[in-house]
Amino acid sequence: MAEIHDLLSANLHQVFGNRDAASRRVAIDATYTEDVVFGDPDGEVSGRDALEAKAAGLIDGAPAEFVFVEDGIAYAGGNSGALAWAFGPSGSPVARGIDVITVRDGRISALRTLLSE
């Protein structure tokens, strides 16, 4: 069973920060439950395919120098965790947010992304 900190890192770096579609899909299958629910300010989707489309749309549409970085420490407790992040050119983020996850059977079953204003 994956540790919550490992799942938070995989979510940020191996999925949403990964520009390689094939390895991103492998990470999605290993990191999320089949029925994962993902919500952000644009709405809510469910399932690995829908989550993959959201991740691909975000990272594939961003300039090549944009990266996700952790923006603080990860928090974990019970079956949930949270990690703040920043996105943009190294050292000059254009967006900040926090991901809050719920874990079931060693995989992320729910992911909620909150953005700073």
pTM (two decimals): 0.94
pLDDT digits (tens, 9 = 90+) for 62-114: 999 999 999 999 999 999 999 999 999 999 999 999 999 999 999 999 999 99
What's the CA gap between 68 and 95, in Å, rounded?
Answer: 10
Q: Can you give the pLDDT at residue 1?
A: 45
pLDDT band per the 50, 70, 90 thresholds, residue 117:
confident
What is the residue range of 79's domain? 4-115
Domain CATH code at residue 88: 3.10.450.50
| DSSP per position, the chain | ---HHHHHHIIIIIIIT---HHHHHHHHHHHEEEEEEEEETTEEEESHHHHHHHHHHHHHTS-TTEEEEEEEEEEEETTEEEEEEEEEETT--SEEEEEEEEEETTEEEEEEEEE--
What's the CA gap between 76 and 6, in Å, rounded?
Answer: 11
Name the domain count of the chain.
Answer: 1
pLDDT digits (tens, 9 = 90+) for 47-61: 999 999 999 999 999
